[in-house]
Amino acid sequence: MGGLGSQFKKEEIEDISRITRFNMNELKRIYQKFKKLDTESKGWISVEDLMALPEIHQNPLKDRIARLMTLDMGEVVDFRLFIETISIFNDRVPMEEKSKYFFRLYDMDGDGYVGDSELFIVFRMLLKGSYDDSQIQCIVEQLIGQYDKDGDKKLNYKEFCAVLVDPDLTFIRGGVK
Single out the residue of 119, 125, 105, 108 nearest to residue 60, CA to CA: 125
**pLDDT tens-digit map of 91-114:** 899 888 889 989 999 999 999 999
Domain boundaries, the chain: 10-89, 95-170
Q: How many residues does the chain have?
A: 177
Domains 10-89 and 95-170 fall in the same CATH topology: yes
Predicted local confidence at residue 72, as pLDDT: 67
Q: What is the pTM of this model?
A: 0.80
> Which stretch, 58-67, 79-88, 130-139, has highest mean pLDDT?
130-139
Q: Would you state the pLDDT for residue 11?
A: 92
Total Cβ atoms within 10 A of residue 51? 16
| Max mean pLDDT range (95-109, 118-132, 136-150) | 136-150
DSSP-based three-state secondary structure for 88: helix
Average pLDDT of the chain is 88
Report the pLDDT value the prediction gives residue 5, as an integer from 0 to 100: 64
The number of helix segments (H) and strand segments (E) in the chain equals: 11, 4
**pLDDT of 74-85, one tens digit each?**
678 889 888 988
Calculate mean pLDDT across residues 118-141. Answer: 93
Burial class (CB in 10 A: 0-12, 13-18, 19+), 101: middle
From the options 1.10.238.10, 2.40.10.220, 3.40.50.300, 3.40.50.12780, give the CATH code of 10-89: 1.10.238.10
Which pLDDT does position 114 carry in this prediction? Answer: 98
Cα gap 133→119, rounded to integer Å: 12
Domain 95-170: assigned CATH number: 1.10.238.10
Q: Which residue from 60, 62, 30 is spatially nearest to 48, judged by alpha carbons?
A: 62
pLDDT at 175: 67
